[in-house]
Amino acid sequence: MAEDSPTLQYLKERLADGILDTHAFRGDQTIVVRRERLCETFRTFRDDPKLAFNFLTDITAVDYLGKREPRFEVVYHLYSMPRGERLRVKVPVPEADPVVDSLTPLWKGANWLEREVWDMFGIRFLGHPDLRRILLYEEFQGHPLRKDYPVNLWQPLVPEREVAGTFVDERSRNKLTRLKQKLAPGG
């Protein structure tokens, strides 16, 4: 294993007990942190002048079903504008309790990115102001980027939602009624 970069060494001293693992594969610095007090950890990344990771590039997750325990990993990519350095932060999340802290208090951009992770992986973000599905629709069953979600599964059409105060065309109402009859059990 190669020598740790100065940033990783500094992080190890700074967050000694919060860090589970560090490595640098192909020059990508990666640290794995505990999910307890996650928001505080990220506040350190952002506000410590020696780190200054002030730019949240991306949030995503990986499902390691049957490969690793715990099953999920939430992956954050941070960038330091003043220092021109990237850092990958990974947080293991168990299947039984898929919850991590939301980073929306630190970066506004976390809002949609976390909604997408919830939508695709079913990982909840504690303290998120508006955790709804984003790319899929409310009636969708399951979380498609989980490895146990079949790739060829079809989900039924959902009836048109009625929104209070909106005008509904008679023709589409008839269509809606027909669709409801079709979807009703025994129909």
**Residues lying near other proteins in the complex (CB under 8 A):** 25-26, 28, 30, 54-58, 60, 62-63, 67, 75, 77, 81, 84, 86, 88, 107-109, 111-113, 116, 120, 134-137, 144-145, 149, 151, 163, 165-166
Alpha-carbon gap, residue 179 to 187, rounded angstroms: 10
Q: Are residues 119 and 135 in contact, defined by beta-carbon separation less than 8 angstroms?
A: yes
When the beta carbons of 84 and 186 are compared against other proteins, the nearer one is: 84
Distances (CA, A) of 124 to 47, 86, 135, 153: 25, 26, 16, 24
CB of 63 to other proteins, least distance (A): 8
When the beta carbons of 10 and 107 are compared against other proteins, the nearer one is: 107
CB of 38 to other proteins, least distance (A): 18
Amino acid at residue number 96 = A
Alpha-carbon gap, residue 18 to 44, rounded angstroms: 12
Report which secondary-structure segment, H or E, holds 130. Answer: none
When the beta carbons of 36 and 58 are compared against other proteins, the nearer one is: 58
CB of 87 to other proteins, least distance (A): 10
CB of 187 to other proteins, least distance (A): 29
CB of 108 to other proteins, least distance (A): 5
Answer positive or negative: Cα dihedral of 32, 1, 4, 18. positive
When the beta carbons of 100 and 120 are compared against other proteins, the nearer one is: 120
When the beta carbons of 22 and 111 are compared against other proteins, the nearer one is: 111
**Residues 6+ away with beta carbon under 8 Å from 162:** 168
Q: Quick one: which of 54, 66, 45 has its CA closest to 147?
A: 66
